[in-house]
A and B are shown apart, each in its own frame.
Chain A
Amino acid sequence: MEEIRTLLNLVYILSAITFILGFKLMGRPTTARQGNVLSAVGMAAAIIATLLFPEVVRYTYLAAGLAVGAVIGALFAYRTPMTGMPQMVGLLNGFGGAASLLVAWAEFVARPYQPVYQGVIIWLTVLIGTVTLSGSLVAWAKLEERFIPTKPVLYPGQRVVSVMLLAAILGGGIWFAIDTAASSATQVLLTVTVLAFVLGILLVIPIGGADMPVVISLLNSYSGMAACASGFIIQNNLLIVAGALVGASGIILTLIMCKAMNRSVANVVLGGFGADLPGKAQDVFGEIKPVKPDEAYLILEAANSVVIVPGYGLAVSQAQHAVRELMEVMEKNGTEVRFAIHPVAGRMPGHMNVLLAEANIPYDALVEMDAINPTMDTVDVCMIIGANDVVNPAALEDKSSPLWGMPIIEAHRARTVIVMKRSMGKGFAGVENPLFFRNNTRMLFGDAKASLQSLINEFKSAVS
């Protein structure tokens, strides 16, 4: 018996190695896919090894769970459109939390007599897992724009309520851990679970829709921490290592997103941004210079280098494919075309890259903000499609702007700027954009997809 155990634990070590190497291979687009496959193989090995453990003797619930989960997972994976990726990742974070909290509950139900430290770990796993679950459900609803308003939901005494909840959960934890075999222990843990569920909702609901990328990253990290905590319950190194990797990944992404918005994590998490914006209009000088597609064509036709700044509006109007076509006709015309991607473009970290990759735009044409800015002076035309706040020069020039200090793509330094916009509305943050009023800016009003199509037609008719 002992030999089998040792052997199976060796398999777990191999799985941990594949997870680590998998993440390492994720470092480059050429090897990322292999990394993912390697990691999946390691996971499959860990699952098979677990099934061979001597204490695993009953297969009904286990097989049913595996079958149901695998089918639902596969449906999610193939049915979700790329624009819906933030919602899917959000939901999966929540399911990860749910799985960990249930593992903790199962352990408690199977073995009520637990030493105090195990009681604490079970309580902690239930807490993290449940907050991850309910928080993710709220984040999902906000991203889907269903059930819950996207705007921050604020109410008086918000923080006091959250702190009191946390205190009650803490008290419940002490009560539970001191004697997990007490007759009241089940009720106490159940109460903790319910309170933690409410806490998760209250933590995410005051955060605005624009900040959801940060929230998903943070919940991603929590789901890893929950897995880690459940690893302590069953004393399994694989869960601890894998959970820690995911936890670290989520934290890194959270920090990157916060830095890109020039906000602290605390500022985002405490919420309310976008709910109480100063109503005063900023003074903006200059006038709007609208152009027709044929004039915009002449500008683009004469350009040697074009940089396109895409925003989420591009994906909403499903214009990725039109952008690719425009890119092709411009390249045929001898123009160098690149895309400048702001870290918060799209609705989750790296989202815009996936949306453009889906439209067959090669990834070597996608340039990060920090790499494109130093070259911006030599760019002939910077085309802005569906982006606003991430190119707002007020972030660099106007200390009174809410965007002040946020790193931006410095589109205004290009020789000519063409802004494609539906109308003169404001960005996500509700801030006026002085870029639209600059001397070198031309506004191409209308639906992005239709405007792109007329530009493509201009190029095509010029050739024939």
Chain B
Amino acid sequence: MEVLIFLLFILVLAIFLGFEIISKVPSLLHTPLMSGSNAISGVTIVGALIAAGLGEGEDTAALIGGIAVAFAAINVVGGYLVTDRMLNMFKKKDK
């Protein structure tokens, strides 16, 4: 239970931090912001990798974990690459 309180503490701070930073992103960049946050929400991959890596006797759990890894990896790889592709198109006037 004690850990839970500690984790909640982190959560609350992170939410405030998130609102603070992200409200500064201009609407010009809102689409890359969204695809970028897609990539970051793929951070679940950490939990998925641990589940998929479980040893003997945990076959079902490891298999479920493996599928979770696939979904999260689509988010991570797809999200970062497409964000990069988009941001690369934003050019300033060359003068």
Contact = CB atoms under 8 A, between A and B. Distances in A.
Interface of A: 12, 19-20, 22-24, 26-30, 32-33, 35-37, 39-40, 43, 46-47, 50-51, 53, 55-62, 64-66, 68-70, 72-74, 76-78, 80, 82, 85, 88-89, 92-93, 95-96, 98-100, 102-103, 105-107, 109-110, 117, 216-217, 220, 223-224, 226-228, 230-253, 256, 341, 343, 348-351, 353-354, 357-358, 360, 362-366, 368
B66 to A, nearest CB: 3
A96 B41 contact: yes
B28 A29 contact: yes
Nearest to A359: B89
Given A50-B49, A350-B32, A57 B55 contact: yes
A223 B58 contact: no
A253 B31 CA distance: 10
Contact of A22 (B11, B36, B43, B58): B36
B-side interface size class: 35 or more
Contacts of A350: 27-34
Given A57-B53, A74-B78, A109-B64, A245 B40 contact: yes
B91 A27 contact: no
A60 B30 CA distance: 38
Interface in B48-95: 48-56, 58, 60-94
Nearest to B66: A61
A106 B64 contact: yes
Given A39-B39, A348-B34, A353-B28, A240 B49 contact: no
B41 A43 contact: no
A173 to B, nearest CB: 17
21 contacts: A33-B87, A33-B88, A39-B36, A43-B43, A57-B53, A58-B53, A76-B74, A77-B81, A78-B81, A89-B34, A96-B41, A96-B71, A117-B4, A220-B37, A240-B7, A251-B19, A341-B27, A349-B30, A350-B32, A354-B89, A364-B92
Interface in B2-27: 3-4, 7, 10-11, 14-15, 17-19, 21-27
Give the residue among A28, A47, A60 with the most B Cβ atoms within 10 A. A47
Contacts of B73: 65-66, 68-70, 73
Q: Ordered nearest first, which 3 A-B pairs have the shortest CB separation? A: A69-B73, A248-B18, A61-B66
Contacts of A53: 50, 53
B50 A92 contact: no
B56 to A, nearest CB: 8
Given A89-B34, A102-B68, A234-B50, 6 more contacts: A65-B65, A65-B68, A106-B52, A117-B4, A217-B34, A253-B34
A35 B39 CA distance: 13
Nearest to B19: A248
A345 to B, nearest CB: 10
B76 A73 contact: yes
A96 B38 contact: yes
Contacts of A64: 66, 70
B61 A110 contact: yes
A357 B87 CA distance: 9
Contact of A228 (B3, B11, B45, B80): B11
A103 B74 contact: no
A239 B47 contact: yes
A47 B58 CA distance: 21
A28 B90 CA distance: 11
A110 B54 contact: yes
Nearest to A96: B41
A348 B31 contact: yes
A20 to B, nearest CB: 7
Contact of B74 (A95, A235, A250): A95
B33 to A, nearest CB: 6
Contacts of A70: 73-74, 77
Given A240-B10, A362-B91, A62 B78 contact: no
Contact of A216 (B32, B34, B65, B86): B34
A417 to B, nearest CB: 24
Given A69-B72, A74-B78, A349-B31, A27 B36 contact: no
Contacts of B33: 23, 26, 249, 253, 349-350
Contact of B26 (A27, A348, A358): A27
B51 to A, nearest CB: 4
Given A39-B80, A73-B79, A362 B39 contact: no
Contacts of B93: 362, 364-365
B44 A239 contact: yes
A99 B35 contact: no
Nearest to B79: A92
Contacts of A12: 46
A29 B90 contact: yes
Contacts of B40: 19, 22, 39, 43, 224, 242, 245-246
